[in-house]
Structure 1
């Protein structure tokens, strides 16, 4: 069974906003001749690396609820310029919308069991509903219609 990470997506107003940021960051790296991979730097290195890399994802909390996920590709510990241990979480640059699941603010990241992870919106009812405008989608979810 996969293990996942949960992290606050600070600065993003919506899932679409985060998608635009990912695209902008990858384009900037491409223009600079850097590897086109999405990295997120964190201070703590996950101890359960092997479990996370066996199909795990990084679930993003945006505006108080889990709203999306990205597949984890690698976890790369390193020391920064000041000698402090840090970690790059390497993710697939595809952001999947998930069924919103409320979460309170927290610092750093948290482990998320596969059994507690929200389903992708595309998996609900076997049809993709990601095309629905986000506010309308949220209202439909709250009404229990999706």
Structure 2
């Protein structure tokens, strides 16, 4: 199994991401466009999640359901990463900007806030802005 990390360009909060996902749906699933089809698609589809980076912080994940090859509006090929509706907050992690997406090994993935055992358990009840600030100060 492998996960994918991708920037959520233009989103600063989980609420903004949720709004965007409701407007970008295909077959009842959230659709995240990207240029390249993962070469390790089988590993990603074996239980991987899409981890989202917003404003320099990896903040959440969504379960990947499918990867679909598409033809984009300009005639070039592209890929839709189809994800389940639920956005799962994770233990925030700082991350530098990058283009496209990156693979993330399961052992390197930050834990969900609701399942964290590293002293961050219960932080899912804090406002996202406060979680982000604590993470930027290296307090999470």
Give the TM-score, by structure 1 length. 0.82
CA RMSD of aligned residues (A): 2.2
Of residues 96, 101, 105, the one that matches 2:97 is: 105
Residue 83 of structure 1 is matched in structure 2 by 75
Alignment of 1:14-25 (within 5 A): 14-23=13-22, 25=23
Please tell me whether Structure 1 or Structure 2 has the larger radius of gyration of its CA atoms: 1
Structure with more of its chain in helix, by fraction: 1
Q: Structure 1 residues 113 and 143 mapped into 2: Cα distance closer, same or farther (>3 Å)?
A: closer
| 1:21, distance to aligned residue in structure 2 (A) | 2.6
Q: Give the unaligned 5+ runs of structure 1.
A: none
| 1:124, distance to aligned residue in structure 2 (A) | 1.6
Structure 2 CA distance, aligned partners of 1:138 and 1:89? 26
Residue 58 of structure 1 is matched in structure 2 by 50
Of residues 29, 42, 61, the one that matches 1:37 is: 29
Give the TM-score, by structure 2 length. 0.85
| 1:127, distance to aligned residue in structure 2 (A) | 5.1
**Equivalent pairs, count:** 137
Of residues 60, 73, 97, the one that matches 2:65 is: 73
Q: Does 1:130 align with 2:89?
A: no
